[in-house]
Structure 1
């Protein structure tokens, strides 16, 4: 009797198609995208994109929101994003070092979104700063805000969420160290974007740290001297529109 096909085989086949992989990459930013935007990200026609999007929805990797006559798509949940991040980590094991000095990888490595939270060098350094300062403390395999941390977030004006998956470590595919994930990480990134501390770079997942952001986040970024080199690469933005690299 032959062994049953692993349940992940169908999902792996769906993800493995280059066109669908580009679409999933575009959705790693965490927001909703229209079919036309996914077609553009994948470099295919609208008709071709439609069939691929249907397969992503059928496989429950992507969900759809209907708003009037328009349909918008996003990753089904954070578990899908983490699975894609893990696959990226495996895929990059043999990458040559100078790859990260080339565009568009360079800006993605410096700072990027990962399903609604901050990733890349800046994300890793911010997470380490939150831990080093004692803003976040370990609790039952995850992290919670300390009493001082709650006061610090109130001072920044961050609307602290609640929930089971509040703050936990997510292995970063470019840095091979953890950045912060969870509802708190999402709220922190949303707040940084609203305040202009971080700016989106063109149509990609890349982010840039602004001077006001470097000042606001300095209590955590300055916990490590190495963050100064990261900030110097991330501050400002060229306005270039890079293609998705993931």
Structure 2
């Protein structure tokens, strides 16, 4: 069944475009659109409109990756540009790539924000304290802005808070900006996040 092939493709648990799904399943774009609309209506997949196009992801984040899902993601992760700048780079003026996505996941794991919907994240009171502590200035905003990461196809922090965070990381020499949008990691981000970003080291659970 076409729906099963699409769900199998999306089992890679990444945001994929219509074109990428159709290529992976070898189906026509019009048929792909129809099937995706049905799956979205049945709440088996979620759609997020970002940067002028729609991205699709499984609703069930616990579904294991199928062979087709693995093959699809392996192909996307081997794109030339994804390899060249996939580890750490700027996206506008915030941290992107594997480093940016991992940082966003650490924020989640430490309960510094809540996910209300696919593209609606809000800082918790604890999150505001942690950001205020690291940025050495009061953080009053509640809603987080995110991008779908080009290379990782998962969310990373963006917007004003993402910009302020990267600026502080550069100021503290945790990372350094280099040419062609690439970022050099001077201090392992896992260590920085645990030791410098988390204010109360004794009571915070770190998942690296």
Question: So what's the TM-score if we normalise by structure 1?
Answer: 0.45
CA distance in 1, matches of 2:193, 2:180: 23
- Cα contact 2:131–2:139 (8 A) shared by 1: no
2:193 corresponding residue in structure 1: 217
Structure 1 segments unaligned to the other structure (5+ residues): 1-81, 88-92, 226-246
CA distance in 2, matches of 1:199, 1:109: 16
1:83 corresponding residue in structure 2: 51
CA distance in 1, matches of 2:77, 2:104: 24
Deviations 1:92-133 (A, max 9, x none): x99565445xxx753510011111111111111110110110
The alignment partner of 1:152 has SS state of helix
CA distance in 2, matches of 1:135, 1:163: 13
CA distance in 2, matches of 1:207, 1:196: 11
Of 138, 143, 149 in structure 1, the residue corresponding to residue 121 of structure 2 is: 143
Query: Do the aligned partners of residues 132 and 214 (structure 1) sit closer, same or farther apart at CA in structure 2, a change above 3 Å counting?
Result: closer
Runs of 4+ in 1 over 6 A off after TM superposition: 219-222
Counterpart mapping for 1:31-70 below 5 A: none
Of 153, 171, 174 in structure 1, the residue corresponding to residue 131 of structure 2 is: 153
Alignment of 1:188 with 2:165, yes or no, is: yes
The alignment partner of 1:143 has SS state of strand
CA distance in 2, matches of 1:216, 1:99: 30
- Cα contact 1:192–1:213 (8 A) shared by 2: no
CA distance in 1, matches of 2:122, 2:76: 37
1:204 corresponding residue in structure 2: 180
CA distance in 1, matches of 2:146, 2:76: 26
Question: Aligned Cα RMSD in Å?
Answer: 3.6
CA positional deviation for 1:143: 2.4
CA distance in 2, matches of 1:148, 1:113: 26
CA distance in 2, matches of 1:115, 1:218: 26
Structure 2 segments unaligned to the other structure (5+ residues): 1-49, 55-72, 199-204
1:115 corresponding residue in structure 2: 92
2:8 corresponding residue in structure 1: none
CA positional deviation for 1:213: 5.0
> For this pair of structures, how many residues does the alignment match?
135
CA distance in 2, matches of 1:137, 1:96: 29
2:45 corresponding residue in structure 1: none
Query: Do the aligned partners of residues 142 and 172 (structure 1) sit closer, same or farther apart at CA in structure 2, a change above 3 Å counting?
Result: same
CA positional deviation for 1:194: 1.2
- Cα contact 2:135–2:165 (8 A) shared by 1: no
